[in-house]
Each structure stands twice: as structure tokens, then as C-alpha cells.
Structure 1
Amino acid sequence: MQLALQLAEQGRFTVSPNPMVGCVIVKDNQIIGKGFHQRAGEAHAEIIALQEAGEQARDATLYVTLEPCCHDGKTPPCVSSLLQHSIKKIYIACLDPNPLVAGKGVESLRSAGIEVELGLLADQAIKLNQIFFHYITHKRPFIIAKWAMSLDGKTITYHSDDRNISCHASLVNSHHLRQQVDAILIGSKTATHDNPLLTARLVTNNMACKQPIRIILSAKGQLPLDLKLFDPSLPAKTILVTTEAVDKEWLKKIMDRQIEVLIVSTNTSGLIDLSHLADELGKKEITSVLVEGGRTTHEQFIQANLINQIHVYLAPTIIGSLENKRDLPEIELKMHDRDFHFTANYSESKYV
């Protein structure tokens, strides 16, 4: 099952809105077939493994990280193929919470006389697909908040020539995170101040990965029309989230640029209702959203109790003010229970 989980991981960048699934078939203590779900709409992990095993699959044991499907979707049901190949025993890590499956696959297999063991490495399997499980259960995207921060708590710099707080390795890691989500979201201030592309650029994978959808929040619109995010030639689409208070003339210019517009309700403060937004993004099969900022946008999502996970990059830097940004080359880190304790020399002391 551990190998099946490792195989499933290979679909992380390409299977959304489907779950990651891995499968291994064993007979006489030998692996005779293995596979993982590679893209939504393509063959499931069990089918790929069965194709590799061929006729040897009869009376074999199969390990799969998620309950096999038993309904017709974009591909035929996996349960039917398992029965046709006369699999003897199946180990399933966890049930599929999709209402179309939700235990029905296990029931069908057992009814056909196949021995089924459920729960092997279940915690790992559930964690692997936490985004899918959240989305399929709540019909809303799994929302991740991400920010970089200096030791003095700054999340932006004052230097136009050096806007990145974190180092290159952290930037690569953050782009790796971008590749895993369906969409990246920012507020209007970040869009104007940083003028970002919001694409995944710094890492590559063996499988072609789709670029994330870009989402901008602006209750009244009137953002500069020359923002990079409004370039229609960018990969994937840009969604402008706004309200009925938006400037209609400006909105027409945005729509002329082939930007998708999503109008949502406002909350009691006259701001975008983020709960309504989460519902609307769920309807668009956006299973995960990376909220990259800025600070106000993060605070609003936290106050709305919509954040499911956070990623914080803490840089060994003191931003201070415009004149005195300083990197701290030597950092000592200690742990006190769950607290981090940083020690660094801020200024040089000369003794001779």
C-alpha cells in the first residue's frame, strides 16, 4: 500500500478535480501490475494496473489507495473491471466520500465474493487527498493562505528593486505550491502594488501541468487596465470577482479583454462576501485556492473562517523602514515547546 500511495502522489499536479489514486497488484509475492490516475477523464489507477497485469490478475491481490468507483462517469466503473479480472482480494486504504461511491464500491465487491480489507494506511491516504475530500464534502474549495514574512513581521518591502522577502529556494517552493492548486487569489492592493503574473514558472515536472486560474478581488473595480493579470495571452484564465457596486464603464473594458467576471454579494461591511465566493468557486469545480495576499485579504479570509491550511515563509531579514532593511546572515534557531526562538546579531560589535 505504501507503494500505491507513492504512485498516487505522481498525479498531484494533473488530476484535479479528481482524487489522486495509486494501485498495485501482487501475486505470489511479486508485483505484476501497478498504476496511478494521471489526468481527469483518463483511465483510473486500477485499470492501468489491470492492463499491465493482464491474465495474471486472476486470483491476485490488489492494493488501492481509494475505494474503486462503481458508477459510470467519464470512464467506466472500476468495480466491473475488477470483477472481470477475477481479483481474489482487495486492500482499500479509505472510502471515497463522493456520494456516487461512498461505500457502494466495497459493497459491490463483497457481494460478488471478493474479500475486501478496508483501512490499511487510511490516515496517509486521507491526508494525501485532503483537498478532494474537503471539496467533495463541502462543495467548496480547500483554501490555503500563503505569505512570506520578515522577522519584524513585515509582509511587504519598501524597495521597488527587491520586492521578494524570501530567498530563491523559498520562491521555488512557493511556485511548486502554485502548481498544486486550481487557482491563485489576491486582493486589489496586491494586484496594483506587485503587478504579478500569478503563474507557476520556477519548477517543472515530468508531466505537463496546467497553470492555475488567477482570481482578483475588487469590490468596486477601477484597477489599472495595464496590469499583467489582464493580459489575455496568459495561460489559463483570469477571474475578476466584484460586486454590483463596480464601475460599469470600467467593467465593460475588462470584459472586452476576455476577463471572466464573477459578481457576488457583499457582507455587512460592504466588502466581498467571501462565503458566497467560496460557494460560487465550488460550482466552477475549483477544488483548491491559494490566497497569496495581501495582509488585508488574508485577515478577511481568516475572519470568515475559510482558511484550511497556511504556509508561512519566515525570512532572516529585518525590513524596518525604507532606509534600513537588513539581512541577518547568522541565525540561531531554538524550539521552546511549540515556539520558535530566533537569535541573531543585528549590528557588528568590534572588540579590537
Structure 2
Amino acid sequence: MPGASVPETDRRFMAAAIRLSRRHLGLTGTNPSVGCLIVRDDGAGPFIVGRAVTAIGGRPHAETQALEEAGEAARGATAYVTLEPCAHHGRTPPCAEALIACGVARVVGAASDPDPRVSGKGYAMLRTMGVEVVEKVLAEEAADLLGGYLTRSMKKRPEVTLKLALSADGKIGVKGQGQVPITGEVARGQVHLMRAEADAILVGIGTALADDPALTCRLPGLEARSPLRIVLDRHLRLPAGSQLARSARDVPLLVTAAGDADRARRAVLADAGVHLLGVEAFDGHIALPELLEDLAARGISTLMVEGGAFTAGEFLGEGLVDRLCLFIGSREIGAAGIASPVDPGHIPSGFRKRCEARFGNDLYLEYVRA
């Protein structure tokens, strides 16, 4: 396995860099949230002299910030970077060049960058200038947090996370009753954290009408990290008095609209501050692959789908789900409940279990596409 023979010190500091990179998930625009640590050892053991994560908005990159914090202490040190350092000139010089200029002796990298301007070139530049390079240390763990950037780079669409809350008997709600409590407060808090780390969150119009959700992050201190909210609504049925529309000027709201959507409805929602996105339809339904391409073109790398059974089924049926997150409560809903399109006993082929956890009394299962 990559990194299996890597010294424990390298694995330990890379794990710390990966944890640091999570700090700005959902805040770095089209750039990935990368973590970087500058570590030196003067004989008494390694210690951190510089640390940084990609800045909000995507610039500056983590490496240049960490090097600036380290100053002269970077000379002869080791840099731990969760993604291969960039090698191309843009608005600023490449990070590989900055590492060389600051005299870093060694670079330990995790995930590889699929961007053709970078892939392999950053490491090659470092090696040419005599910098020792160790690749793929905890690469899988780093790539997991960089999934949005990697998916958007390779597939030209956002990474899609489908989140479902299931009762103990595999139901996601009761028809006609709006939101039905399924999981406890701890699990709901975790969902809000997931929202804070996503670029956008999406529901279908059925869920928007039945539940009247806000789709914001309501964890204390993280309210400002609410993602862009998206509603699949080709006929523009979303009421102007809904929580989503009423808060559109505070938290951006994007509503899809077919070409034949009513002009008066367009005007009402636009007056409320709602942004409208034209979509194509196929067999009477929104063409999801094309929608995801449009969202990627807008800079969206991570999309969290919280829709109901129909929307979840559509994304699964199109093969567009990359990560499946199931929160399973302890109570049963019964025969009147709406069956989930997926449950632990019926996971779509091509997925593997990534982790299992407990949030309060609720079970959490996460699967990723292999």
C-alpha cells in the first residue's frame, strides 16, 4: 500500500495537515482546501514552525502562507502538503517554486493533483532542484477530503453526497406530514456540520413544499457558512412565502426553471432575491448530468443532496452519487412511512463502506463509490 513503509513521524504530521485542511472546506471557491505544515528537527525532535490552510476564496495557497509563517526556519525543514504543490504560473508563482526558494529540504505529499498543469510536474520541479520528495503518504485520507476538487477536475461535475435519515424500519418520513423527527440532536448537529463544509445543498420541490426547510447551517458560530441552496423546481412552484424564498437575500438560493416556466412566477421569485437557473428536461424530468455540469461551471465542487425519495432515487438511478451518508434512528415509523430508496441492506453496487459511527443514539454509515 502507498505509504505503508513511511516513517511514523511522516504519517503523524501528514495526519495533522489533513485535519488542518478541513478547516476551510466549502470556503475556497474552485481551489481545494489544502493543509500545509513546515516541520524542522534541530536534534531535539521535530516541531512545527509554520502551518496554514488555503485561504478563504482560494488564495493565497497553503504552502506560501506556511512558509511566510516559518520564515528562515523553513530552510532545511520538511513541508507536509495534503495535495501536490502546484507547478504552473498564474496570478502568483507556483508553490513548488516557493518551497525551493525558501530552502525546504524535503517535501512529503499526500494526494496527487489530476490538473494537467500540475500532475507530476510539481514533484518533478522539486526533485530537479535537489529537494527530497516522498509521495502518497495517507493519500486516500487526503483525497477523501479533497473529493470535491478531484471529482470536479476529472468528471467536470461536483462531488455528490446523498444524505438520508432513516427510521429503524427503513422509512424516511410519512407522506403528508412534513418533517418527521427521525434522529436526535447530536446527529442533526452533524448534518449541520456537513452543510457548513459543502459548497451547495439541494432538494427537490416536493421536499421544499412538504417540509418548508431553511437548509441553512444553524450551529452556533457557523451560521455564516451556510451553503448555496438549490431547489429542483422546473415549474417554479416554490412559494414566495417559503422559508427558502424569504431568506434568499441573506443566504443565496438557486431555483431551476424550465424554458416554459411561467413568466409571472419568474418575476415573483426574482423580486424575492431568488436566482433562477435554466435547465434542460428529459422525459419530463430535469436532466441531472447537464445540471451538474452547469453547477461545476459555476465553481461548485461539493453538492449535498437532502431531497426526498424521488430526488434521491433520481440521483442514484443516474449514477451520480459519489458518497452515501445514512443516519439511522432507533424508532420505527411503520407501514404509513415512505420507504427509503436505499438502506444498509440494499447499497448500490460499486460502493464500499468507508466508516461507521454513533451520534447519540443514532447509527451513522458512510459509503463511497469505489
Give TM class, smaller chain: 0.7 to 0.9
1:3–1:232 CA distance, 2 compared to 1 (3 A): closer
Looking at structure 2, the residues matched to 213 and 162 of structure 1 have their Cα atoms a distance apart, in angstroms, of 21
Preserved contact between residue 179 and residue 211 of structure 2 (Cα < 8 Å) = no
Structure 1 position 271, deviation (Å): 0.8
SS in 1 for 2:151: helix
Contact 2:22-2:33 within 8 A present in 1 as well: yes
> What does 1:209-288 correspond to in 2, within 5 Å?
209-232=224-247, 234-267=249-282, 269-288=283-302
2:21 maps to a residue whose letter is A
1:75 positional shift: 4.2
Specify whether residues 161 and 249 from structure 1 end up closer, same or farther in structure 2 by C-alpha distance, changes over 3 A only.
closer
Equivalent residue in structure 2 for 1:319, among 284, 309, 333: 333
Kindly indicate whether the alpha-carbon contact (under 8 Å) linking 1:242 and 1:272 is maintained by their aligned counterparts in 2.
no
From 291, 302, 312, give the equivalent of 1:298: 312
Range 57-66 or range 170-179, more displaced: 57-66
Question: Within 5 Å, which residues of 2 pair with 1:16-95?
Answer: 16-25=29-38, 26-28=40-42, 29-31=45-47, 32-95=49-112
Structure-1 residue corresponding to 2:188: 171
Residue type of the partner of 1:2? A
Cα deviation, residue 14, structure 1: 2.9
| Native 8 Å contact 2:105 2:131 kept in 1 | yes
Query: How far is 1:133 from its partner?
Result: 0.9
Cα distance in 1 for partners of 2:299, 2:217 equals 20
Q: TM-score, normalized by length of structure 1?
A: 0.84
Aligned partner of 1:150 among 150, 161, 167: 167
1:66 to partner: Cα distance: 1.3
Answer whether contact 1:187 1:217 (CA < 8 A) is retained: yes
CA distance in 2, matches of 1:158, 1:299: 16
Whether the aligned pair in 1 keeps the contact of 2:205 and 2:237 (CA below 8 Å) is no
SS of 1:18's equivalent?
Answer: coil
Preserved contact between residue 164 and residue 326 of structure 2 (Cα < 8 Å): yes
Give the residue type in structure 2 aligned to 1:251.
R
Displacement, 1:35? 2.5
Which residue number in structure 1 is paired with residue 323 of structure 2? 309
Q: Which deviates more from structure 2 when the two are superposed, residues 276-285 or residues 127-136?
A: 127-136
Contact 1:186 1:217 in 2 (8 A): yes
User: Using a 3 Å threshold, how does the CA distance of structure 1 residues 296 and 276 change in structure 2: closer, same or farther?
Assistant: same
SS at match of 1:305: coil
Distance 1:162 1:104, change over 3 A: closer
Work out whether residues 26 and 199 of structure 2, in 8 Å CA contact, stay in contact via their aligned partners in 1.
Answer: no
Residues paired across the two proteins, number: 322
Q: Shift of residue 256 of structure 1? A: 2.2
User: Could you tell me how far apart the structure 1 residues matched to 2:265 and 2:78 are?
Assistant: 62
Q: What is the match of residue 180 of structure 1?
A: 197
Note the residue ranges of structure 2 that are not aligned, 5 or more in a row: 1-13, 338-352, 357-370
Whole-Å separation in 2 of the counterparts to 1:89 and 1:232: 49
| In 2, Cα distance between equivalents of 1:97 and 1:162 | 41
Partner of 1:5: 18
Q: Secondary structure at the match of 1:143?
A: strand
CA distance in 2, matches of 1:82, 1:162: 52
Query: Structure 1 residues 203 and 139, CA, compared in 2 at 3 Å: closer, same or farther?
Result: farther
Q: Match of 2:174, SS?
A: coil
- After superposition, what is the alpha-carbon deviation per residue over 1:55-93, rounded to whole angstroms, capped at 9, x for unaligned? 122222222221111223454421222121122222222
Match of 2:216 in 1: 199
Please report the RMSD computed on the Cα atoms of aligned residues, expressed in angstroms.
2.4
2:46 and 2:28 map into 1 onto residues whose CA distance is 28
Deviation at 1:215, TM superposition (A): 0.6
For 1:140, what is the secondary structure of its paired residue? Answer: coil
Structure 1 residue 159, shift from structure 2 partner = 8.4
Q: In the alignment, is the contact (CA less than 8 A) between 1:62 and 1:90 conserved in 2?
A: yes
Larger radius of gyration: 1
- Is 2:303 aligned against 1:289? yes
**1:175/1:203 contact within 8 Å kept:** no
Task: Give the secondary-structure state (helix, strand or coil) at the position aligned to 2:96.
Answer: helix
Q: Is the CA contact 2:248–2:272 (under 8 Å) kept in the aligned structure 1?
A: no
Q: Partners of 2:258 and 2:87 in 1: how far apart?
A: 42
Identity of counterpart residues, as a percentage? Answer: 33
